[in-house]
Structure 1
């Protein structure tokens, strides 16, 4: 297949491009800078210049491809409404270009906020509906196109997709620990996060494009529930600093913005996903990555 990938040089997208190319697929990657374009060309991918606001480029990429993987997102924490608007516009543009083709259209989403008090299941629908909801309601918008001849597949990622070079949540926790001189967890540290290694997430993207039926909600989860205390202990071991509890009211000042996420349980199950696609995560665990030093030199 010729696969059009948005976010093709991002943390997950760059690994997905490598996985798709290794499997013999052709990749058409969206690039907004010269450096991104050069990175894709060096791998043997085809470059399409543009960004999420360039709807003509998105339309062209989807029209010329046999499959689309939409991973890009503005992630504008200072202006989430703009991120949500851009996400909805991008998904709508890509989906409209695929109407009547029965081509696979994979759309990324997260797991936080989907359900309360338990792990998110693949059967759980997203409560985000409409342009004013989280991510512009893009998951449900994309699924609406199934009836119009689009093989929509949703892929939900664990809150941490880890590995060497990860600049996500765990990196911010490591930076906070380095700054404070202690690796903290909130309260008794019993809140839990799911995690998946970047290589396993990339493999799931490929398998989903190749095999998943329309309407599938795939969960990129390698470990369902790691306690936040265990994450803090791994960070403390990696940096050689003490580990201690942080009072909930001090979380924001100690951790920065990531404290609002670290005090939550954000978990999901991938049991159905694994059975459907014979997907077996094989990468290092989150604790193994941290203690091996995957985050030790980032941010210094």
Structure 2
């Protein structure tokens, strides 16, 4: 396949690019960084320097693509997310979506895998895992990605072959997971949670997430939505326990009031951290997809091993 990938240098995007190359596909990646473009080209990727929000060479490259995976989003990691930041994110996210879709050649395109997030569905509750048909009030980032997701139907109505994916908590050695769980525990420090909250997460290993994108390029049904999560939702406190066991360290937790989190991280991330993301992968599995790591219990050892190797190569435990 000839695949055009946006957001191909992030931790999910990098895994997707690597998996696509491993499977023998031709890959084009749009990146804003000249340095990353050189790194990509060294691996056999065709790198296009540019930005979805600005006209450039990416438009002609995109028009040639048979398949597209859209992962790009405005950067937010590591900053306090105020309502002002979130509203700017929403505007940029929507503009990226529309600019991408408006520059695709519908006569050439065979499939677009659009990547959203489970916050679009809202708080799932803590009973049985819910499916793609569930919809509540969007939580966390949900209200800010909803306009982008909702506009897709207008393009589908015009014949655009779109498949929409909703990954859960995508964990890996280069993700949020080491920063929130592995780093503090490895330093004999506690993992921080919110008082009165032990939300359910629906994780998926980053390699399985990347494999799912590529699987759905071939086997995903147009107009359909797919939750990308593993077999077993898990409480956030239990992830701390699993991490401690994998690191052979003491299981340490501390809890801070919600108001403090809201003050330090902002209302959007606080809402995300208190909502249940309790989702089912029944639809993805019914389509024929199989997992390398069906549960986080089976994936965490791999992540810890890779994280330690990366940290050793840098001369420190990050």
- Which residue of the other structure, out of 270, 274, 287, is the alignment partner of 2:285? 274
Matched, 1:92 2:98: yes
Superposition pairs for residues 229-248 of structure 1, below 5 Å?
229-237=237-245, 238=247, 240-244=249-253, 246=255, 248=257
Comparing 79-88 with 185-194, which one deviates more in the overlay?
Answer: 185-194
Matched, 1:208 2:219: no
TM-aligned CA deviation for residue 177 of structure 1: 5.4
The unaligned stretches of length 5 or more in structure 2 are none
The unaligned stretches of length 5 or more in structure 1 are none
Aligned length: 294
Distance 1:164 1:185, change over 3 A: same
Equivalent position of 1:32 in the other structure: 32
TM-aligned CA deviation for residue 162 of structure 1: 1.4
Equivalent position of 2:118 in the other structure: 111
Q: Could you report, residue by residue, the CA deviation over 1:124-150 in whole angstroms, capped at 9, with x for unpaired residues?
A: 46977xxx9512611121232112121
TM-aligned CA deviation for residue 27 of structure 1: 0.7
Equivalent position of 1:9 in the other structure: 9
Q: Are 2:32 and 2:49, in contact at CA under 8 Å, matched by a contact in 1?
A: yes
TM-aligned CA deviation for residue 117 of structure 1: 3.8
TM-aligned CA deviation for residue 112 of structure 1: 1.7
Matched, 1:196 2:204: yes
TM-score, length basis structure 1: 0.83
Q: Are 1:99 and 1:148, in contact at CA under 8 Å, matched by a contact in 2?
A: no
Counterpart CA distance in 1 for 2:263 and 2:180 is 11
Distance 1:209 1:289, change over 3 A: closer
Q: Could you report, residue by residue, the CA deviation over 1:24-79 in whole angstroms, capped at 9, with x for unpaired residues?
A: 32111112112211221122111111123224444333212111111011133542
SS of residue matched to 1:98: coil
Comparing 85-94 with 240-249, which one deviates more in the overlay?
Answer: 240-249
Counterpart CA distance in 2 for 1:299 and 1:236 is 15
RMSD of aligned C-alpha atoms?
3.2
Distance 1:51 1:224, change over 3 A: farther
Distance 1:216 1:170, change over 3 A: farther
SS of residue matched to 1:112: helix
TM-score, length basis structure 2: 0.79
